[in-house]
Structure 1
């Protein structure tokens, strides 16, 4: 399924080049990841491009991930010229810490500029991230108004733009960009689970089975509580069929409507209705 999809459009290759060319215009980089899939939502090419810039990693949608796991990721990622923060761009949780961490990372540079008589310095920061991690929501929250389009479909932002914020930082927005090849199948699956890859090019029923396989192994209580199940079967398809009957996803003669139940499962996972779930851990 994942290996055969064609999902790397030309605008993503163009965006990658533009990010590399624009780095000289900024002081630091804010990289946004999905806190449920911290490793899988990191674009290795962008990380390599930005490796010499001070970087803040925002683990977004932290309300949807397991708190202890997210805290472990923050500790794991924070080192040298990189700082990680758990945030929720919709509510604003954790965003007040960004300016403090940016100032710490840029302290030496700002001190040098002030020693040369440069005052009233505006810090410029590039915002990067793969599709659907919440970049537009973050920028709108920081700007205090709706300056970029928000959508739950990947690829809403199309070109870079500068946005002023209320904390003395100017943000350069960039389109969400993926990379040409997944080295591990589970990375592609995690991206598909959270909607970073368009559903239109996926086998939605197979994707739902893979999600249930993962949840019944690591988060069985979440599944049983959400769908009022007394127990789970070892077979993921059997569990999907039980959930379908609980939710009335059936057609004539009591047959299962697999597409309907698959769409429902993915929508409810993405919306946090299955509770706080982390699909990756630092020690995986």
Structure 2
């Protein structure tokens, strides 16, 4: 699946990031813990260059814990500070703030030595759409002061947010890259909601996801949708069985495949299929259940 999608507001956001990077001390890059590689925007890496950076594996509750731990070891082993986070519950928030203060504190000390005192540490939050930036800021603030939604592209303008006396955050819109040439990356971004659902082939994505589930987590399918073994070889037939179990029927008893597909998609995103990791560390390890 190839997607070419670079809305005007994303191009503007990319320019804004480059313009304001000089104002910040630390970059916080949010990644989806389910897809740490696929949710990392290579354009962001080019822009921030040598600016101090902290990686945040957000939505860790939706990812498989053992794989998240392997990702932490992978990034840490490459000299990148990394924090596991669930911005919905606040788990990992204290550690993140501590990491930002520790990294930014070095610069504050240098400024203080020059007679510049009292300035808060300035951090820029970057990430692709729907990775949880606004939810993170809301959790830090303790209020829903920043507009959020469970769909990409809601936050569109620059916002400075003061967090206590020691930290200022610059929120930025989510930025995708102009062309998603890697079909596997495009599939994972569509599946996790980083791409608007109306710009890709939903049926194709669902069929590919069901094939993946059959290979690595067939027990999840059997349990969640009360299916019998053996599972159908054909993914369309499998979706039909799920639709029948969930009452996705049109007049005449015809399966509504689109409705069934949307149910699978929504339940994956809500974690109702259990924690699932789709990206694996680039090391010779086995995928799926061990």
TM-score, structure 1 normalization = 0.94
Aligned 8 A contact 1:89 1:141 in 2: yes
1:15 maps to 13
Name segments (4+ residues, structure 1) moved above 3 Å: 114-119
| Structural RMSD (CA) | 1.7
1: CA distance, partners of 2:152 / 2:261: 20
1: CA distance, partners of 2:115 / 2:73: 37
Mind listing any 5+ residue stretches in structure 1 that lack a counterpart? none
Match of 1:222 among 220, 230, 235: 220
Q: CA deviation at 1:236?
A: 1.7
Aligned 8 A contact 1:244 1:250 in 2: yes
- Residues 90-239 of structure 1 mapped to structure 2, 5 A cutoff: 90-166=88-164, 168-231=166-229, 232-239=231-238
- Residues 259-278 of structure 1 mapped to structure 2, 5 A cutoff: 259-278=258-277
Task: Count residues in correspondence.
Answer: 282
Summarize deviations over 1:77-132 as a string: whole Å, max 9, x none: 23566311110111000010012212332343233233334433410000111111
Deviates more, 1:106-115 or 1:21-30: 106-115
Question: Is 2:282 the counterpart of 1:283?
Answer: yes
Mind listing any 5+ residue stretches in structure 2 that lack a counterpart? 284-290
Q: CA deviation at 1:254?
A: 2.7
1: CA distance, partners of 2:49 / 2:260: 42
2: CA distance, partners of 1:40 / 1:70: 14
Match of 1:51 among 49, 52, 60: 49
Aligned 8 A contact 2:220 2:273 in 1: yes
Deviates more, 1:34-43 or 1:220-229: 220-229
1: CA distance, partners of 2:78 / 2:34: 24
1: CA distance, partners of 2:166 / 2:111: 16
Q: CA deviation at 1:6?
A: 4.4
TM-score, structure 2 normalization = 0.92
Summarize deviations over 1:236-279 as a string: whole Å, max 9, x none: 22221111111111223332111110111111111111110011
